[in-house]
Amino acid sequence: MWNVKIINTFALTELILAIAETMKQITLKIFILFIILALCGNLKAQQPRYYNDIQKFKKQDSIKMPQKNAILFIGSSSFTKWTDVQTYFPGYTIINRAFGGSTLPEVIGYANEIIFPYHPKQVIIYCGENDLASSDTITPTIVLNRFKQLFEIIRNKSGNIHIAYVSIKPSPIRKKNQIKAEQANELIHKFLKTKAKTAFIDVYHSMLLKERNINGEIFTSDSLHMNAKGYAIWQKAIQPYLLK
């Protein structure tokens, strides 16, 4: 009987060890799976801002690529939300590749996706307002230097293409940045005066009332983005500079 007990105990021990080894393997597999999932999640989290917006542009292009030699609008949300921009400029072919509330570095980062595939004859830029709003440490000079970088990238790859910059607008919700916006506009205007085939489009002053007060009636309820009245002002300011 004693020997039987020993045999049973030995068998039970072997079974327990086998189960423990199996559990180790399962635990290891679960741990490896967890690491893989964590890495995948981390890679997804590390995708740059507005990645999905750019993928949507690529999907649109895969269905129907816009024609070459058009006028390309790029920049931040004041262009992004101008979804019916083509209707404001009949007789012109407009491609709108503005995205989100982008800053100049973000536009620069996506230049290969939103500019060069379209081979435009003219690039219209509205960007810089979000740069100033992103941090109190962002100065008008920093905005100028960022714009210069974007300008040179476009010129270096697209030759002597016409580039127009739409001035930073005065937004009611960002009134504290109004002076900085004016200074950045002035710096960019002076820079463009030194370059051929460029234009500085001043929408800033058309959006003000007397005594430099901002016209709140041309903005939506968020006091940042424009309504149809605001875009009508932009249409009037921009159209004379568009290339036929």
CATH of 51-241, one of 3.50.30.30, 3.40.50.1110, 3.40.50.300, 2.40.170.20: 3.40.50.1110
The pLDDT value recorded for residue 211 is 82
| Dist. CA 212–CA 116, nearest whole Å | 38
What are residue 199's phi and psi, to 5 degrees? -150, 145
What pTM did the predictor assign? 0.82
Q: Please give the mean pLDDT across all residues of the chain.
A: 90
Query: Considering the chain, what percentage of its residues have pLDDT values greater than 90?
Result: 80
Per DSSP, the three-state class of 126 is: strand
Q: Name the residue ranges covered by the structural domains of the chain.
A: 1-46, 51-241
Q: Which two tokens stand for residue 171?
A: 């937004």
| pLDDT attached to residue 157 | 97
pLDDT per residue as tens digits for the range 117-174: 999 999 999 999 999 999 999 999 999 999 999 999 999 999 999 999 999 999 999 9
DSSP three-state, residue 95: strand
Evaluate whether 71 touches 93 at the Cβ level (below 8 Å): yes
The runs of H, that is alpha helices, within 69-124 are 77-80, 85-88, 104-109, 111-114
Residue 3 scores a pLDDT above 80: no
Between helix 178-193 and helix 140-158 the angle, nearest 10°, is 40
Q: Which two tokens stand for residue 170?
A: 């005065």
Nearest of 144, 242, 218 to residue 185 by alpha carbon: 144
DSSP 84: T
pLDDT tens digits, one per residue of 181-206: 999 999 999 999 999 999 999 999 99
- Determine the Cα–Cα distance for residues 60 and 244; give it in Å rounded to an integer: 25
The residue to which tokens 């920093």 are assigned: 142
The answer to whether 99 and 140 are in contact (CB under 8 A) is no
- CA-wise closest residue to 170 among 128, 124, 141: 128
Sign of CA dihedral 132, 134, 135, 141: negative
d(CA 195, CA 160): 10
Q: Is residue 107 within 8 Å of residue 154, measured between CB atoms? A: no
Is the model's pLDDT at 40 over the cut of 80? no
